[in-house]
Amino acid sequence: MLITKAPKGTEDLLPAESYKWQYLEKNFKTVCDNFGYKEIRMPTFEHTELFERGVGDTTDVVEKQMYTFNDKANRSITLRPEGTASVVRSFLQNSLYAQPLPAKMFYNISCFRYENKQKGRLREFHQFGAEVFGAAGATVDSEIISLAVTFLQRVGLNDLTVHINSIGCPECRKKYNEVLRDFFRPKLNELCDTCKGRFERNPLRILDCKSPECQKLGEDAPRLLDYICDDCRSHFDEVKRNLDNMGIAYEIDNGIVRGLDYYTKTVFEIISGEFTVCGGGRYDRLVEELGGDSMPAMGFGMGIERLLIRLEEMGIKLPNGNGLDIYIVPLGESAVPVVHELVYDLRKAGLNADTDHMGRGLKPQMKYADKIGAAYTMVIGDNEIEQNRGEIKNMQTGEQTELELSEVLDFFKELKRSVIADFLKGDNK
């Protein structure tokens, strides 16, 4: 039954789980605010050429993974496999280079890659990302890395390791590519077919191949870091110094060349458990490559599904910020309109309030309230209406408080005030 089965590699986000995504989104935005990054939203699809040019036609993403189709006017369209190329396209199209620089932006997007489904690998997945345009200095590199680290630590990922490397500029890479070709030439026949093609066009890509044979053949390859020019070396030294000063621990990892073609100088990955949750780097040549003036830039993309898997594996519970404050049980027919009116008033005043729609009795309603996670419940029947009083029950402690029906809202206002007071006193730690 195709109708009741979503395409392979896609996932629904169900109502009971969505608070986790909202929590991550809220925190990512807060951290971006802290660092001075503003949100950008781009279309989900672009002209195929943008990714061929922007991501690079010798990459796995472009060679094997793109969702490309012709639209009804026969244009080649591709569902975005990543965010950076679209951000650069938008930066050029909207002349953002003419606004104050550096331009600092973040995004929260879905991405599409035709990959084999496995844990942490989907065909539609989601990324948080951040990009900076217009500044060539190493402080940008350390700022971008520290933004990603700050966010990940803030949501509880406390086992992360930052891996960094420098892949130099096109000048140092030209030299290194020759050294690398000399290294792979005797093994050329043993490389996978894709890498045979890469040997002439872009031998660096061979080091990023996922095939175990190619990985093994590349194990003793000469290190790019030994071939970078003085300028690239002093840039890398400064990035390391900045990270040291910020107290951000890192490892130098010569294996990181990154999957996308456009990187220059600093590249980095943030790893947790078996996953790379975040990858990024400097891409000083991409804006020019896509038709703009020379413009240094740096950014990262972070896989949200992988982050959630890691948080789950580590037993980190994310707070549910949109739970129900109160569920009110109407007992008897005459209570129904009274309760509906009260619930409506509470909702308008900003409380998360709910009541019965199924005509159920007391017990099943209490069970339902408990299941949907109501913080408080209240039962209103003929007695309560007559005396204009009722009891509000804390579902966690079982504690009951008697109050007038018109005081329900004040009760929650008082509750909020005391939570804030506790927070200010530091009692929430």
Residues in contact with ligand ATP by CB under 6 A are 82, 113, 115, 120-122, 125, 127, 259-260, 276-279, 301-303, 305-306
Which segments within 9-90 are labelled E, that is strand? Answer: 38-39, 45-47, 67-70, 76-79
Please say which residue, 79 or 369, places its beta carbon nearer to ligand ATP: 79
At its nearest, how many Å lie between ligand ATP and the CB of residue 388?
Answer: 56
At its nearest, how many Å lie between ligand ATP and the CB of residue 309?
Answer: 10
Beta strand 45-47 with 76-79: parallel, antiparallel or unpaired? antiparallel
Please say which residue, 48 or 272, places its beta carbon nearer to ligand ATP: 272
Please say which residue, 203 or 303, places its beta carbon nearer to ligand ATP: 303
Please give the backbone phi and psi of residue 184, each rounded to the nearest 5 degrees, phi first.
Answer: -85, -15
Cβ(266)–Cβ(63) below 8 Å: no
At its nearest, how many Å lie between ligand ATP and the CB of residue 165?
Answer: 13
Query: How far apart are alpha carbons 410 and 279 in whole angstroms?
Result: 48
At its nearest, how many Å lie between ligand ATP and the CB of residue 131?
Answer: 13
Cα–Cα distance list, 137 to 204, 238, 255, 292, 396 (Å):
25, 9, 24, 20, 53
Please say which residue, 82 or 384, places its beta carbon nearer to ligand ATP: 82
At its nearest, how many Å lie between ligand ATP and the CB of residue 113?
Answer: 5
What residue has token string 């790019």?
A: 224
Please say which residue, 79 or 326, places its beta carbon nearer to ligand ATP: 79
| 156: region left, alpha or beta (phi > 0 left; psi from -120 to 50 alpha) | left
* DSSP secondary structure, 291-355, as one string: TS----EEEEEEEHHHHHHHHHHTTPPPP-TT--SEEEEE-STTHHHHHHHHHHHHHHTT--EEE
At its nearest, how many Å lie between ligand ATP and the CB of residue 270?
Answer: 8
Please say which residue, 256 or 379, places its beta carbon nearer to ligand ATP: 256
Please say which residue, 67 or 199, places its beta carbon nearer to ligand ATP: 67
At its nearest, how many Å lie between ligand ATP and the CB of residue 116?
Answer: 9
Query: How far apart are alpha carbons 136 and 101 in whole angstroms?
Result: 11
At its nearest, how many Å lie between ligand ATP and the CB of residue 318?
Answer: 18
Query: How far apart are alpha carbons 174 and 159 in whole angstroms?
Result: 37
Cβ(232)–Cβ(225) below 8 Å: no
Please say which residue, 261 or 284, places its beta carbon nearer to ligand ATP: 261
At its nearest, how many Å lie between ligand ATP and the CB of residue 65?
Answer: 8
Report the residue closest to ligand ATP, judged by CB: 303
Which segments within 344-388 are labelled E, that is strand? Answer: 353-355, 376-380
Please say which residue, 243 or 308, places its beta carbon nearer to ligand ATP: 308
What residue has token string 């569902």?
A: 79
Across the beta sheet with 376-380, what order do the strands follow?
Answer: 353-355, 326-330, 376-380, 389-394, 400-404
Query: How far apart are alpha carbons 135 and 344 in whole angstroms?
Result: 52
